[in-house]
Each structure stands twice: as C-alpha cells, then as structure tokens.
Structure 1
Amino acid sequence: MAQVGVSWWLLRVTRFVSGLRGLLRGVKTLGRLVSHHPWAILLVWLLAALLSIPFAARAPAALNADPAGGLTDAEATRVTALLRERFNERDTNTVVLVTRSQPPLTTEAGQTTYQTFLDGLEEVAGVTRVTGAQAGGPLPTQAGDGVLALTLAQIPLEDGATETLRRVRAYAERAESAALDIRVTGGQAIADDFTEFAESDTKRSELTALPLIGVLLLLVFGALVATGLPLAVGMLSISVAMAGLYGLTRVMEVSTFAQSVITMLGLGAGIDYALLMVNRFREELKRVPSPRQAAERTVQTAGRSVAFSGLTVAIAMGGLILPPISFVRSIGIGGVLAVLLTVLASLTALPAMLALLGERVNSPRLLTLTWAQSGEASAAWTTFARRVTARPWAAVLASAALLLVLAAPAFQMRTGYAGAWGLTPGVESRDALKDVEALGAGGLLSQFEVVLDLQGQRYGPADRAKFQALVEDLRGLDGVKGVLSPFVTPADLTDTAGSSNADALAALSVLTTRSFSQDRTLLRVTVVPDRTLRAREIPQLETQLRRKLEASGYAYLLGGAPIGGEEFSRAITGSLPTVILAVFAGTFLLLMVAFRSLLIPLKSILMNALTVGAAAGVVTLVVQNGVLAAPLGIPADVGVLDASLPVLLFAVMFGLSMDYEIFLLSRVQEEHLRGASNDEAVVLAVGHTARIITSAAIIMLIVFTAFIFGRVVASKSIGLGLAVAVALDATLVRLVLVPAFLKLAGRWNWWLPAWLDRRLPHIRLEH
C-alpha cells in the first residue's frame, strides 16, 4: 500500500512538473509572438478594456455583504426558507427609521407631523407594512418625552430589497424638516452601507495610491514614460478583472471584499511585475540593437520570474476556492482572475508597448539621480548582508523572537460579524443604532427566530400548555427583552406605547397569524434580546436558548441574524486549515521544482507563516483590543475581527510574499550555480536584489496603507494587516532572517534525494 501511495504521489508531481515546464516554454513562445506583432497585441487589449468598462462599472453594485452568503445548508438559511415557504413571510426584512420630533409626539402638532410621515411611508413602492410608534408592541418604540421614536417598515427579504431601501431612504430625505429628523438603520441598511462604502473606499484608495506610486516610480526610473507604463498595466488588469467579477455575480454570490482584493493585487503585484519588466528591458536595450529583440529577451528572462511569481500568488488565492462557501470562493476566484490577468498583461501588453517605444522609454528624462534598479550590486546592501551573515545565530534568533512577540496577540483573536459596529462613526446606519439602543429596542436587530416542528401533527388544544411553557422559559432567560408569540397579555401590548385596546387586539391578531404555519404543523417564536448583540455575546445566549429548546422536547431550528453571522464565522474558521494545507502543498511543490531543494520550500513556508502570524497579531492588537486604534480611525468598540480576515490575510500575503522570496532565492541559486560558495552566494544575492525588493515593498505598502483610511473596518483591517506583513517581510524576513538562515543551513540548502533529482526538470529563473 505504501508503494502504491508513493507511486500516486510521484505521478501527481510528474504531471505538475510537466505542466510547469510547459508554462515556461509557453513564456518563451509568447515573447516571440509579442515582439513580432506588438500592434496586434495592443489592439486586442484595447478592445478588451473598452468592452470591460461598462461591465466593470456595474460590478460594485452587484456585490454582496451578507455575512451568511453562500451557506445554503446552514440552519439560519433553512429557517428563513421555512418562514418564506410555510409561514408565507415575504417581508421579514425590517427597516428601522429613527425620528426626532420637535414639537414632540406627545403634542397634537407633533402627532400630525408624524402621521403625515407614516402615511407617506406606506405609499413607498415595495414597503408592505408600516408599524408606527403609536401602534404599541412588546418593545418600547417611543421615548417618554415623545421626542425620539421608532418606525418599522417591512420590505422584501431578497428580490428588490436594495431598491426598496433606496426608495425608503429617498423618501426619508424628502420628509425631513425642521420638525422631523429621520435616520435609517436595520440589517439591510447596514449590509448596503458595507457594500457602498467598500466600493467608495476602493475608488478613493486607488486615487490616493496612484499619485504616490507615480512619484516612487519616477524616483526609480527618472523618466516619465517608464513611470507611466507600470501604472497603465495595473489599471488595465484591474478593469478587465472587474468585468470578470461582474460576470461571476451572475452565477454566484460575490463578496464585497473581492473588489478590494482585485484592486490590491492589480495595483500591487501588477506594478511590481511591470517594474521588473521595464527595468530588464532598459538593461537589454544596452545589449541588443533592436527594441523588439530587447522586448523578446525581456519576456524570456524577467517574464519567467513574473510567470513563476504569479503562479505562486494564484496558488495561494486558489486555496480560497476549496471551502464550500460561495462567499469565500468568489474572493478566491476574483483573486486568481486578477493575478492571471496581471501576469498576462505584464507578459503581453507591457512588452508590446516596450517594443514600440524602444529608447523612448527613457524619455523625457526628468531626474538624473534616480533610485534606479540595475544589474549592478548595491555596495551598501552587500555590506549589510555581510554583517548579517557574520552573526547568523543572533540574526535568526532576534528576528524570529520579534515576529513571535508580534504574533502572540493572534492567539486571543475573536472573529465574527461586527454588523453596524464594523462601520466607522458618521455612517447613518451605525449612528442611528445608538438611538435605537437608547430606546431599549436594540434587540430588534438581533432577533432569534425559532421554528418548532410538531412532527407532522397539527397544533391542537393539548399543545397549548407545552407551547406556552416553552415561551415562558425563553422569556425568563437573562438578556431576553421579549418573546413574540400568541401568548402575550394586553399589558405587554399597551404599557410601553400607550396604545388603545383596539390596537392591542390588532397586534395580538398579527402575532397569532405569524406564529403558526399555514398547515399548523410548525410553530414560530421570535426571541428579542435586550440589546443589540455584539459578536462575542451571541454564543452565550445561543447556548441558553438551545438548552431550553432541547429540554422542551420539540424538534426545532434556530435562526435569525445572530445565528446566520455565527454560522458564517464558524464555517470560515473551519475552512482555514484546508486552505492552509492546500497552499502549503502547492507552494512546496513549486519551490521544490524551481530550486531543487527540500529545505528551501520548508524554510519559505515557515517564514511566510511567521510573517502572516505577526501581521495577524498586530491587527488583533489594534482592531480587537483598541491599541493605537484611534490614530488609524478604527472604532474602539468593534471587539472582533471580521471572520474573513484570517483566511484573506493568509492567502493574499502568503502569495505576495513569495515574489520577494523568488527574487532573492533565484539570485542565490544563480550565484551558487556560477561557482560561488553558499555564504558568498547569499551575500551577492542580497546585494543584487535588495533594491528591487525594497522598491516593490514600498509600492505594496502604499497600496495597502491607502485602505486603512476607509469607513469599513474589515477593509481597514485587511489593509493594516497586509501593510504590516509586507513591511516585515521585505525588511526583517527577506533581508535578515532568510540570509542568516541560508548561511546556517550551508550545503543543506541545495540537498535533494538523488532519486527525486533525476525526476525533476531543470528550470532556470532570471530577473
């Protein structure tokens, strides 16, 4: 059996290697094609960009911020389906409108103004039911002074929800006056604000980052044309990738974060690859007379490193496709799409432009002294490398200790769906929630829906006592404000809002209707907490509810917004080991083939994991614990990290950090194959690549930092995590820890079993 297992593994490795060898041969052929037909290549890209623009523009509006997106078999999803199909609930999506009245509702003038507002709200297309402050209910809907009040508007749960909410918000703006201030919140409002601000934050990040990146590239190249080419490649790949993302929304739920990932990869990796290609082309122009030959040579050398680096990023992003969660898979597919298009643009559109520009790539020359990349080694970085490798143990232990200290807070990481608290103050849906809580009605946005199954029997008189006993048990739990069921008293319906007996009876009739399925074989209870639950508070109340439900003897399903958020968080957390193992396996094979070593892939995986861990620890310290949160514009009351953050941070950063790894290790291998000793090869490699790595890292840092200053805390967290990770990776890890480790490992860096060495092809990477 063991022999069969080894044979199967070798077959898979052989196929992987054959595919990799074919990829590199394809790069060579591609270089010849591009250099001979540059105008045709550019025309194809121009048509692709023009066709992509209208679809790319529609993509942001089609994205989804639903925390339970894609969990079709989740308990909360099944509860929602039962309410729709068996209880005929088509409008369980509640919009909460908070009004401030001057004069107050306790006056006749205030009541008249408020009633006019209610009458107009009922006429808004898509609104199926309006519950005003004076209608009563088991929750307070009006402050004692009559100034603050809540109005509930029911809108469709799925189709048309966003459009209806837009109409409600537009009506609220029109209805506002000196006598009535109106603010809108609710689950749909919060989710739509996430999507809207994620889109606007992404656009603002692009506009902020591009000028800064342009200045940096000008310092690198000194020429305006060379500076503009990487920017053009980045924007080209982003526009086509966004059009592809829109196509993806037609067949599956697509996460709001997919747009941010595409922008990060398109700008960061795209500009890095273009920087490498443009620099190599300028070098080749000095060696060959023809610009087209220089472009072909650029694709065949630097293009191989670009293709290989892009493959590592694609493997990392592809790990997100494995979990059976469409919300996460969409991010993975979007990331892979962005990487592949970025690599394709770098290997086709960019060299085509270079072939046509020739020496004009160096004009107009604006700076004579530049932070230029060249094939010459940097004396300063060479000296630095000699000092690091002179004391390798000190360098390894000190840098590893620092990374572990930074990673320590990640062990106390709490993940979940932050809801409105995941938006920054100043966003209407978040700010209005404060007023809802002031009224003691915060639980309206954290309701638990319970569906009890009578096992095919119809509800009869004998079930009344059992059902009522369960309702009373649920009502008596700590943290429960009220329970919506047929078993309420007139006092429950009148004591908080002063409604009439007729109003109370009407409300009781509605409660009775909503509590029984149409065939009376399912019972429904809605449990309303005494406050808006934070993610960290949900598990405790959920546990209490389940204990009571299990003790009741009923078969049940527990749903509602809190359960949906928790299920999504658990699904994401549960998928992380699968993603990590898949990415580790793919990366190990790739690096083993490239560098013909077993130790180097293991070292790369370990050190990249340390970098990601350190970044996760810093994000936990800032976002969850509030350390230095205020200067970064992060609210101190978030309390949890978005459930998607750990898996996103791992996939994106693990893939991108491999760029620096390949830049450095390919040069170490090259110097070693030329005959340099292991120690000297490491020093020479750092001297030759440190400027490329630091330049690329600063570009990445600018892109990621721009996301920190948005209004969606999850996007801010991802930007912060990636900024910290790239800063650590390009300095402490790549220029201190890795060289010191390579020095200590010595000849074991290049050890490969003889039987495996014979089976692997020789692949040469150049930059």
Structure 2
Amino acid sequence: MRALSLLVTRRPWLVLGLWGLLALLSAYPASLAPRGLSANPGGLENAESTRVTTLLRERFGETDTNTALLVTRHDPPLGTPAGQEAYNRLLAGLEEVAGVSRVLPAGAQGSVPTVSEDGRLSLTVAQIPLEDGATQTLARVRAYVAQAEAAAGGLSVGVTGGQAIADDFTEFAESDTKRSELTALPLTALVLLGVFGALVATGLPLAVGVLSITVAMAGLYGLTRVTEVSSFAQSIITMLGLGAGIDYALLMVNRFREELGQDPDPRAAAARTVLTAGRSVLFSGLTVAIAMAALILPPIAFVRSMGLGGVLVVLLTVLASVTALPALLALLGERVNSPRRLRLPWTAGAGSSGAWTAFARRVTRRPGLAALLSVLFLLLLAWPAREMQTGYAGAWGLTPGVESRDALADVRDLGAGGLLSQFEVILDLEGQRYGPEDRARFQGVVEDLRALPGVQTVVSPFLTPADLVGGEGEGGGTDTLAALSLLNARSFSADRTLLRVTVVPGSYLRADQIDPFQARLRGALAASGFPFLLGGAPIGEREFSRAITGALPTAVLTVFAATFLLLMVAFRSLLVPLKSLLMNTLTVGAAYGVVTLVVQGGFLAGPLGIPDDVGVLDSSLPLLLFAVLFGLSMDYEIFLLSRVQEEVLRGHPNDEAVVLAVGRTARIITSAALIMFIVFCAFIAGRVVANKSIGLGLAVAVALDATLVRLVLVPAFLKLAGRWNWWLPGWLDRLLPRVRIEH
C-alpha cells in the first residue's frame, strides 16, 4: 500500500493521464452496452421445459413458437362492412412484414374468445421467430402497426406477448436508469456541497462515480459479446458506481482535508490518506465484491451477468478511489476547499462532531435498552417477509401506461389471457409408432385435461372444424382442411412416436398461480399411463425461479464465511465478525419485509407508483438485495469499526473508543447514507417494478443501517461486549496475517 501511495502522489499526472485515456477509450463501447442487454431470463440446460422446447424444434419442426398478440380497437365495429374491410387491410399488410411466418386472425383461436361482444375489440396472433431476429421482427411489426393506425384512422392497435414484454423491460430499464442518473446527480451534488462546503471537493466524488460507471459499462459491453446480459446489470452498475463511488470518495476527501489541516504539504497529506482511508476503502470494496460475487453462483447466465457487472464496477470504483482521486488531491492541495467553504455548522471541520459524540454517550449509558428496542424494531419490519412469494411477474412487472402491459390487460378482459400461459405436453409412446389402438388412450388424456378446473381449451387432433373457426360453424372448405392439416402436423412428431397437446388456461397465470395449475395437470398426466414431459412458458418460469432461490442458501453461506474471515483478519476478533454478520442479516431481513409488504401486499404501493396487482417479487430480487445490501452494509461497518480499533490501539478504553469513533465517523456515515438513499430512491420513480423494488429495498436498508444499526445498535453491542470485542485465541492470532486498516 505504501508503494501505491508514493506512486499516485509523486506521479499524479501519469496516473490521471492513464485514467483519462481509459475513460476516452471506454466512452463509445459504454454507449453501446444498453443495446445488447436483455430482459429474457433464459433457460436451464437440463430443465424439463428446455427439453420440451428442444423436442418441439427437433422432432416436431416447430421453429416459430414465439407470438406477438395484437389487440385492435375497431371504430366502426368489426361486424360492420367498413370495420371488416379496415381489419382485412391490417391483416394483409401484417402478413407481409418480414419475419412474420403466420397470422391467425380474430376468430381463428378455437374456443379462445378473441372478439368482444360489441365487435370493438379483437385479438390477432402473429407468429415470429423464437430467438434470432425476434426483437427485430417485433420492431417491424410495431412500426407497421403505427403506419396502419395512421392510414386507417379507425383502428387502434396495441402489441403484447412474451417478446413484446421482454423488449419493453429492456427499453424501460435503460431509460429508467438514465433518468435516475440525471435525477440523482444534482441532488447528490447538493448533499456533498452541504458536507464539504466547497465546490471543488463536491465535484471529486461525482467524478469518481461517473468515471467508474463509464469504464464498467464498457466492460459490460464486452460481456454482451460473449453471453446474454441482464438488463438489470446496468441498474446494478449505476447504483453501485454512484453510491459506493461517492461513498469512498467522500471518505477519502474528508480524510485528506483532515490530514491537510495537520500538514500543509498536499502530496504528503494525499499519501497518508491512501495509507489510512485508502486501506479502509480497499478492504470495504473487497467485501462488497465478495457479496456481489454471490450472484455468480447460480448456473444462469442472466443472473451471473449481474454479479459480474457488480464485481466489475466495485473493483473499478476502488481502483479509481485509491489512484485517480489521491492523484487529484495531491495536485489540488488546499484548493480542494475552493472557491470558499460555506459557513454551515456541519461543514465546520473534518474531525470529530460534538453532537454525535454526545449522542454516542447517551446510547452507551443504557446499551441494553438501546440494543433491545433496535432489534425488536428490525424484526417487526422483517416480519412480512415470511409471506414472500417470488416469480416472474411478466407484463404486470411494468407500470400502467406501458404498451405491452396495457394490451395484455385488454387480452385478459377478452378472456384470452391464457394464450400467454400455454402449457406444452409431450406424451411418449416409448419408441412405438402411434397407431389406431392408441387413439382411444390419447383422446382420453385430452378429455381428462380438458375437464380440469381452469382449463379453457386443449389444442389436439380431436378439435372439430367448428372449434377451429370459432365454434359457430362459419367458414369451412379449404380453410378448415388447411387448419386440420396444420393441427395434425403439430400434434405428432415426424416419426409418430411422440404426441403433443397444448393446454390453454382460462386466464393469464401469475407466478403465484402456476404451481397449483401445473399440479393438476401433472396429476391427470400421471394417471394416463403415458410417460410425459411438461413444458411451456409457465413451467420455464417456475424452474428458473427455483434455480435462483435454490442458490440463495449457498450464496449466503459463502458470503458469510468469506466476510467472517476477512473481518477476523482485519480486527483480530471472533466476536466482531459474528456481530457484523448478525447486524447485516437484520438489515437485509428488514429490507425484505418492507419490499414484501409494499410490492406484494400493496401497502403504500399507490403513492410509490407500484401497481397493486403484481402479486410476486421478481425471483432474482432476494439474492440481488442480499448481495448488494450485505456488501454496502459492510462499508459502514468497516468505517466505524476501523476507527474504534484505531482508538483502542491508541490506548483508549473500549467504551471511550466507541464514543470517539462514533463522533468521528457518524457525520461521514450519515452523509454517505443520505447520498446512497437519494441514488436508490431515484430508481423508485421508474416503470420497471423489479427496479423499483430494488431501489425501495436498498433505500430502506441504507436508511436503517446508517442510523439505527451503525449509530445505535452497534455502539450498544460494543459497549455490552466490552473487552471481549477484541478477543482472539493466541494460537489463531499467530496463524493469521497482520493487516491494519484505519481511516
């Protein structure tokens, strides 16, 4: 660390030149990164739904199982000659859109209702590619629809479907992130101005945050070239880059001003800042990176990309904080306080705060009561998390006003929402070809499925011509024969050893409604005697959710173990690491409880702009919140404990060391937390509910952690534990490496 401090303070122009070159090279790829992000959660290689999709593609020849649903409002109604003519023109043009392989007009969905009783609302299905070209095809469909609306005058068309929902997630996740940055930066600048009372000092943390985000986004672009990257990765990079970057810079600048007050030589002050606050930043960043690495554990590229993005931005933020920032400080010297410091009480000095010191003395006078009340309050906030349900919210994970969500609401009102929750069933004849003797058994399975509660229709070879054309016997002739031929082709594999039926529920199934429905399907299929596989979007969603939540225990234990070892080495203690894990767990639990209460339960959802019909939390949210919260909570823990340890090593008794440490760190911790709070709250104003949930959970946790936990609960605990805080068995003390952190 000493060599680093000398390098960055003796050759500041070289360090800044290298960072400037890196930022310049990163600017263009960083601007391209959002285009390569995806809201598609992906699949699991050996999952049942993945095997079904593979069989449909390889054995049934299904290549265009992806659909776009067009909800059309007609004026005049569809039943009138003018309304029908306008609709026919819409269909004719839609069939010509590149990438659209088939168009199923309203009335061609069997028994699924696709036209309202008054003829003013209809549903059209367009088949588009499943993977390659899906987004581009959908964009062309939407562009065509916009032209058709303008030309017809009496048509209003909304587009939804799985691809439309995923593309809207990606678009609004990007735009929400940009808006959050623009909102948070000026507010953060005001807070920093209040903390430092100087424009130059205010600009330094902002510069570090923007620098680390730019380079991290360039790295994210590189990641998009080799794997699928979550659209949430951009949000994670922005949150951590701004939040942690400003936190670390705040700590460094504050320490530099303190050192400058003792020694006017700016290079010497900057070097001591690296050796003291820089050590804390390095150690703190390592704990955040370890926590974010927990997201790399699930075997899902979508989730791993968020972990890689988080680790990347944290490491870059630490690197910028201990190299670029001290180089700037060495050059600026006393000008860091320019143009002139504001004469406000909280900007009076970089040292100890009399008010916070007095507060710490009051807490440590009655530590038992303070600890008990704090723990009870956190447990009360965590209580709703017992009812947490996770899954993929689909279009309901977007706010009203987004096209795919609003159009899906119309599909639901038509009674056709089940088209987005179809289950694919593959029945296996175990290598034997389908023959006349199998017909009765196959038909019996279809009838059993059709009779299940909540099933609207079952697509099978046993549909009648009337079913195919809307149930009224209209149509017929070559159209009906063509439909029957297509139906037969989709129902049997090429070698006629696999049978396929598609089960369409009566409504769109939310994540919390899928498991009961699939249990009924599996019960009926198990009784059929056929070996079977069950797939489709609902099954894939549940498998994906279980894979993520199943990785949570492993991630938690890994982070706990690594963090415990790091804190034990840093603070030469067994009790301090255990206490830190417990405190952080309480904070995470409280955040879980609040998010569950608001997003899932609907409490105060309206004022926060969160729809009350989401029903579930995004499946990645518990793991994501744990990783980010645990890492950021350790920032404040290390800031406080390193100062306590520093005071103990100076010879102060444990109780006095705790009071002095709170007096010296509380202002920085609360200021940093306020900045974090602003950054996270900016995400609550977005249109993607998962981002809003992340922002809400992080804002609540940071507010609790920097006030109730770090400034009340931790000092109370340290007071109660007394000399046991710093106890370590002698044999273990001799084995551990020596590391000293302070700030």
1:494 deviates by 3.3
> Is 1:113 the equivalent of 2:83?
no
Segments of structure 1 that go 5 or more residues without pairing to the other structure are: 1-26
User: Counterpart in 1 of 2:178?
Assistant: 203
Please report how far the alpha carbon of residue 690 of structure 1 lies from its aligned counterpart in structure 2 after TM superposition: 0.6
User: In structure 1, how many angstroms separate the alpha carbons of the residues matched to 2:640 and 2:185?
Assistant: 27
Show the counterpart of 1:473.
448
Structure 2: how far apart are the matches of 1:371 and 1:705? Answer: 24
1:640 and 2:613 aligned = no
Shift of 1:40: 1.7
Distance 1:382 1:29 in 2: 35
Alpha-carbon shift at residue 272 of structure 1 (Å): 0.6
Which residue, 34, 37, 45 being the options, matches 2:8? 34
Taking the aligned partners of 2:729 and 2:491, their CA distance within structure 1 comes to 69
Distance 1:29 1:463 in 2: 79
Change (3 A) 1:499 1:295: farther
2:126 equivalent in structure 1: 153
Where do 1:316-327 residues align within 5 Å? 316-327=291-302
Aligned to 2:508: 532
Alpha-carbon distance between aligned partners in 2 of 1:546 and 1:33, rounded to the nearest angstrom: 66
Greater mean alpha carbon deviation, residues 157-166 or residues 104-113: 104-113
Q: What are the superposed Cα offsets for residues 32-89 of structure 1, whole Å, 9 maximum, x if unpaired?
A: 111122222222212211221221122122112123x252222112211221122111
- Report the equivalent of 1:127: 100
* Larger CA deviation: 33-42 vs 682-691: 33-42
SS at match of 1:433: helix
2:686 to 706, 710, 713: 710
Of 460, 463, 467, 1:485 maps to 460
Q: How many pairs are equivalent?
A: 740
Q: What residue is the counterpart of 1:432 in the other structure?
A: 407
Name the aligned partner's letter for residue 148 of structure 1: L
Confirm or deny that 1:659 pairs with 2:632. Answer: no
Match of 2:667 in 1: 691
Which residue does the alignment assign to 1:8? none
- Give the superposition deviation at 1:725: 0.4
* Identity over aligned pairs, percent: 74
Q: Please state whether the residue corresponding to 2:220 is helix, strand or coil.
A: helix
Q: Which one of 263, 279, 287 corresponds to residue 288 of structure 1?
A: 263
1:147-170 residue CA offsets vs partner (Å, 9 max, x unmatched): 111111110000010111111011
Match of 1:549 in 2: 525
C-alpha distance in structure 2 between counterparts of 1:729 and 1:279, whole Å: 21
2:31 pairs, out of 57, 63, 68, with 57
Question: SS of the residue aligned with 1:143?
Answer: coil
1:601 aligns with 2:574: no
* Residue identity in the other structure for 2:106: A
CA shift for structure 1 position 674: 1.5
Following the alignment from structure 1 to structure 2, what is the Cα–Cα distance between the partners of residues 136 and 667?
Answer: 69
Given candidates 559, 574, 596, the residue that maps to 1:583 is 559
- Give the structure 2 partner of residue 182 of structure 1: 157
1:403 aligns with 2:378: yes
Mean Cα deviation higher: 249-258 or 382-391? 249-258
Pair 1:89-2:65 in alignment: no
1:751 matched residue in structure 2: 727
Residue in 2 aligned with 1:223?
Answer: 198
Which runs of no fewer than 5 residues in structure 2 stay unpaired?
Answer: none
1:234 shift after superposition: 0.3
Matched, 1:673 2:673: no
Q: Offset at 1:497?
A: 6.6
User: Of 543, 560, 572, which residue of structure 1 is paired with 2:548?
Assistant: 572
1:632 is paired with a residue whose SS is coil
Q: How far 1:204 moved relative to its partner?
A: 0.5
- Kindly tell me: are residues 550 and 373 of structure 1, through their superposed partners in 2, closer, same or farther at Cα, counting changes over 3 Å? farther
**TM-superposed deviation, 1:373:** 7.8
The 3-state SS of whatever aligns with 1:141 is coil
Q: CA deviation at 1:566?
A: 0.6
1:141 maps onto 2:114 in alignment: yes
| d(CA) in 1 for partners of 2:259, 2:645 | 22
1:522 to partner: Cα distance: 1.6
Task: Give the alignment's Cα RMSD to 1 decimal.
Answer: 1.3
Q: For 1:96, what is the secondary structure of its paired residue?
A: strand
The answer (yes or no) to whether the contact 1:404–1:614 under 8 Å persists in 2 is yes
Q: Structure 1, residues 81-136: CA drift from partner, whole Å, max 9, x if none?
A: 22112211111100000001111111111111111110111111111111111445
Cα distance change of structure 1 residues 289 and 495 upon mapping to structure 2, 3 Å threshold: closer
Q: Please list the CA deviations of residues 566-625 of structure 1 after superposition, one character each: whole Å capped at 9, or x if unmatched.
A: 111111111100000000001000000011000000000011000000110011000001
- SS of the aligned residue for 2:346 comes to coil
Q: CA separation in 1, counterparts of 2:219 and 2:492?
A: 45
| 103 and 496 in structure 1: CA distance in 2 versus 1, 3 angstrom threshold | farther
Give the secondary structure class of the aligned counterpart of 1:133.
coil
| 1:257 aligned partner | 232
How many Å separate the matches in 2 of 1:106 and 1:194? 35
Instruction: Assess, with a 3 A threshold, how the Cα gap between structure 1 residues 245 and 498 changes in structure 2: closer, same or farther.
Output: farther
The answer to whether the 8 Å contact 2:200/2:337 transfers is: yes
Q: Is the 8 A contact 1:446 1:533 kept in 2?
A: yes
Deviations 1:216-239 (A, max 9, x none): 111111111111111111011001
1:728-759 Cα offsets, whole Å, 9 max, x none, are: 00011001111111111111111111100112
User: Which among 453, 456, 460 is matched to residue 435 of structure 2?
Assistant: 460
Q: Distance in 2 between matches of 1:70 and 1:751?
A: 49
Structure-to-structure mapping, 1:233-244, within 5 angstroms: 233-244=208-219
With 556-565 and 354-363 compared, the bigger mean Cα shift is at 354-363
Whole-Å separation in 2 of the counterparts to 1:759 and 1:135? 75
1:444 counterpart SS class: helix
Given the alignment, which residue of 172, 191, 198 partners 2:145?
172
- Secondary structure at the residue paired with 2:118? coil
Q: After TM superposition, give the deviation of residue 369 of structure 1 in Å.
A: 2.3
Query: Structure 1 residue 146: deviation in Å?
Result: 1.7
Using the TM superposition, name which of 717-726 and 367-376 deviates more: 367-376
Distance 2:610 2:472 in 1: 37
Structure 1 residue 359, shift from structure 2 partner: 2.1
What CA distance in whole angstroms lies between the structure 1 residues aligned with 2:111 and 2:25? 55
Cα deviation 1:614-654 (Å, max 9, x = unaligned): 11001100000101110000001111111111111110000
Asked if the contact 2:384–2:594 (Cα under 8 Å) also holds between the matched residues in 1, the reply is yes
Task: Return 140-149 or 682-691, whichever deviates more.
Answer: 140-149
User: Equivalent of 1:726, from 687, 690, 702?
Assistant: 702
| Partner secondary structure for residue 153 of structure 2 | coil
CA distance in 1, matches of 2:230, 2:646: 42
Residue of structure 2 in register with 1:193 after alignment: 168
Return the letter of the residue paired with 1:493: L
Contact 2:466/2:472, CA 8 A, preserved across alignment: no
Name the amino acid aligned to 1:196: E
Equivalent position of 2:599 in the other structure: 623
Q: 1:317 deviation in Å? A: 0.6
Query: Is the contact made by 1:132 and 1:152 (CA closer than 8 Å) also made in structure 2?
Result: yes
C-alpha distance in 1 between matches for 2:486 and 2:427: 19
Asked if the contact 2:107–2:470 (Cα under 8 Å) also holds between the matched residues in 1, the reply is: no
TM-score (norm 2): 0.98
Pick the aligned partner of 2:493 from 509, 512, 517.
517
Q: What letter corresponds to residue 155 of structure 1 in structure 2? A: I
Q: What TM-score comes out, normalization by structure 1 length?
A: 0.95
Structure 1 match to 2:326? 351
Give the counterpart letter for 2:133 in structure 1.
G
Deviation at 1:471, TM superposition (A): 0.8
